[in-house]
Structure formats: structure tokens, C-alpha cells
Amino acid sequence: MLNDLKILIVTKDRAHRENVKGVLEPEVSYVLTAGDGDEALRCFDQTPFDLVFTELRMPGMGGLELSNQLRERFPQVFVALFTDGSTQRATQEIEQGAFDYTLKSSDHEQLFALTSRVAEQKRLLIESYYSHEDRRKTYRFENILGKTPQMLDIFHKIQDVARANILVLVTGESGTGKELVANAIHYTGARRKKPYIKINCASLPDGLIESELFGHEKGAFTTAVAQKKGRFELANGGTLFLDEIGEMPAQMQAKLLRVLDDGNFERVGGTKTIHADVRIICATNKDIYQEVREKRIREDLFYRIKGASIDLPPLRERRDDILLLSNYFTSIYSRKNNKTVEGLSKAGRKILMAYDWPGNVRELSNVVEQAVVFCKGKEITPDCLPEDIKRSSHLREFTLHLPSKSLPLAEATLIRKVLEETNWNLKQAARELDIARGTLYSKMKKYRIERP
């Protein structure tokens, strides 16, 4: 996969950039060099690079400003920092969103290790976009597209469980892409050519869910005018996706547990035992542990379905993916609506980045689609965005539970709360606190605030 990468090396030291180029060029498809940040941005006019190596201190536009501009304009690009030998500054930049860093004195093995990590991420993203079989042409993985470490971990877990036959429990808030994860597991697994059946446990009345899952015989109840196969039987050999498993009635949970244990069941009104070889994927947007504690989900069922767990992070905890997703949705909805919208204006990007996205990726998708429809030019400006998004991005309410009225305690508590809500992204936290980044560093040191 290394030979598919396009890499840009940015440093004022010509000998250094030529040395790095010479190391990578035999293994990488395309390597280009630039002497400063301005030249690097001009290179992007011609080539969509995958990885940029840059040093921090350069004449004109430095590496930090270049990194910030790249993350705004080309959020799919990974940025790695060369340093002068001190890792402290580089570590601070990583916390603000840079992908990784390497030292000027790095040996070839370290350089290739970092490059290989990016190549692996690109491979996962490509597999997310493109299908390999005709039956998957309508299947897309874009709603869980991402380049943050959390999403890379999710992609690896999906691949691991897809190759296995273990039960899977997918958790996460509404709109984070749980059904898309289930789709990915089925269509990349060994059962992909077999049936894939879905059922939303919250959408069926208590009296019908047993019939839907296990089927019924003719005459089993008043409206049973013919025999009907249930979802387990229809999914035989394939996958059954039980969405909103937390909404399943307690009586049905006991019956489901039996089927999960041995694969055997009877249709409603029947006596013949039927066996189904089905892979089960469950999903819920609730706190599954709280549901078990409050007896809404049977403890024995929970431990049976827990199997391999995949927990999708909310969008507010992976803010570096917001612009990546926004660009993708803009492209999709621009084509869908015969528009020529190319992206978001700087002010538009700022609003989307400041909003908390309680509806997660689904909400972002809807907002971008609406903005594309209302857009009159080539860029989505604040005028195209919903009023509630613009208001919420400026006004944030905080509830601080304090044991006293101490002002230093209140300040320290607020800083920690904002850091936690921004996933310890120092640049974003400073922006939300409306203070300089240096001031934030000082206050963190003063109050001894450290990332767990």
C-alpha cells in the first residue's frame, strides 16, 4: 500500500528534504518537496497528497500554520511534524490535532513506521468507500468515515469481528452510524453472500415481535391466515441485525436467550423445532450497563449478546472528523441537487466546528444537505446554515457543580470541563474559552490540570 501514497516533504533545509525524499522514493508512488508553507499549499493545487511531513520553524508560513490550514482545507490529509530534537513542542501540537511527529534525526525504520501507519489508514478508508461485489454497490460506509485515532480503532474492530463468528454489540448515541457498522460487518464477512435481515425491536408491538422473530403457523392467532417464516428462519446462514435491542420486552428476552444458546426455536402455534445458523448483531443507543442495573435488560442476555463490543464515539468527541465529513457530504449533495458547491467558507467551517452535534453524523449530513440547497455560490457561508446551529455555536451553557464559591476553583473546573468536552484538543479548548493558547497552558500548569 505504500506505493499508493503521495507524500509532500516541507522543510527549509534542502539537504534534509532531499535525504528524506531519497529514503521514501523507492517505496512510495510520488514524493514532492517544498521549502516553506506557501510553496506547500501551491503544491496542493496540482496533487491531492496523503501525507505531509513539515518542520515547525520556516520562513514565511511555518509548520504550525501550514498544519492548521491543511486540516481546514484538506481534512483528509495526515500531517507529521519534524522537530529540532525536542519533543515537548511537538507533543503540544499533536494534542491540537497533528497526526504524529518524527525527529530530524529519525532513522529509516522510524520514518517507514509512520508512513506505514498512514498507508494502513488510507487502505481502510478506501475499503470504506468502494465495494468489491455487485450486491454491495448501494452499500456505503461514509457515515463512519474518519481519520481520528478513535475511528481507526473502530475500523480495525470491524475488520476483526467480520472475519469471526462472534456475536457483536454495537453501542453509541443516535446518529453515530450503528446500522452502518452492522452493514460493514456483514458485507465484509464470510456470510456476505447469505441473507442479511434487519429488525427494529422498538418499532413492533409486544404482541407481534415473537411472530416477527420466529414466525407462526396458520391459525396460531386470529389474523394468522397462512404460515409465516420469522426473521431467524429467513436469515439462516446469514446475519440478523437486532436494532434497539434494549426495547425488547422482558418475556421476549428470555426466548431470545434460548435461541442464542443453541439456535433452536418453534414458530408461534407450532411444535416442530427449527434450527437456524444465524450471526447476531445487536445495537442500542442507551447506556447498556444502566439498562441492566435497572432490570430493563436481563443480565444473562446482556452477557450473551456482549460478545465483541464496538462503541461508536459521538461526533463532538472526534471534532477533527467534522470537516472531513462536511466536505464529503457537500460533494454528495451537490451532485444530487445539480449544484456546483465546492465546500464551506472559513466562517462556515468555524460554525460547524463550534457546534456540539447532539444528532451526530446524521444531523451533520442533514445540515450540509440543507446548506447545499440554499447555497447560491460555490461556498457554503453562514447564511446557508440553520439559525439554531449558528446560535448554538456561539452560546454554550455550562453547569458547574462546585463545593464552594471559590473563584480559582470555578476557573479550574470550567477549564477542565471544556478540555474534556473537546477531547483535550488544546487549540479548540482555548478558542471556546476565548483565551490565548499560551494563557491556557499557564492556567493548566497553575491548577495542575493534566490529561488523564
- Tell me, yes or no, whether 290 and 342 share the same domain: no
| Amino acid symbol at 150 | Q
- Tell me, yes or no, whether 220 and 102 share the same domain: no
| Per-residue exposure over 92-101, b if at least 16 CB sit within 10 Å of its own CB, e if not | ebbbbbbbbb
- Tell me, yes or no, whether 179 and 292 share the same domain: yes
Report yes or no on 401 lying in a domain: no
The model's pTM is 0.66
Report yes or no on 135 lying in a domain: no
pLDDT given for residue 72 in this prediction:
75
| Amino acid symbol at 165 | N
Locate 426 and state its grid cell. 488544546
Measured in Å, how far apart are the chain's first and last C-alpha atoms? 35
Locate 336 and state its grid cell. 444530487
- Tell me, yes or no, whether 389 and 245 share the same domain: no
Locate 378 and state its grid cell. 460555490
- Tell me, yes or no, whether 331 and 361 share the same domain: yes
| pLDDT tens sequence across 123-162 | 665 554 443 333 333 323 434 678 777 887 888 898 899 9
- Tell me, yes or no, whether 54 and 6 share the same domain: yes
| pLDDT tens sequence across 210-262 | 888 998 888 888 777 788 888 999 999 999 999 999 888 888 898 999 899 88
* pLDDT over 60 (residue 389): yes
The total of structural domains in the chain comes to 4
| pLDDT tens sequence across 335-371 | 999 999 988 998 898 899 888 899 999 999 999 999 9
Q: Are 399 and 365 in contact (CB under 8 A)?
A: no
- Tell me, yes or no, whether 122 and 201 share the same domain: no
Q: Which domain holds residue 106?
A: 2-127
Q: What is the CA radius of gyration of the chain?
A: 26
The closest alpha carbon to 149, from 200, 205, 97, belongs to 97
Domain containing 53 — which CATH number? 3.40.50.2300
Separation of alpha carbons 222 and 431, rounded Å: 64
Separation of alpha carbons 51 and 13, rounded Å: 19
- Tell me, yes or no, whether 235 and 360 share the same domain: no
Report yes or no on 212 lying in a domain: yes
pLDDT-derived band at 396, boundaries 50, 70, 90: low
- Tell me, yes or no, whether 330 and 375 share the same domain: yes
- Tell me, yes or no, whether 50 and 120 share the same domain: yes
284 DSSP β-pair partners: 171
Separation of alpha carbons 332 and 358, rounded Å: 22
Report yes or no on 133 lying in a domain: no
Element containing residue 156 per DSSP (H, E): helix 149-163
Report yes or no on 415 lying in a domain: yes
| pLDDT tens sequence across 17-71 | 888 888 888 888 788 999 888 899 999 888 888 888 888 788 888 787 888 788 7
Q: Which of 311, 341, 365 is the last residue of a domain?
A: 311
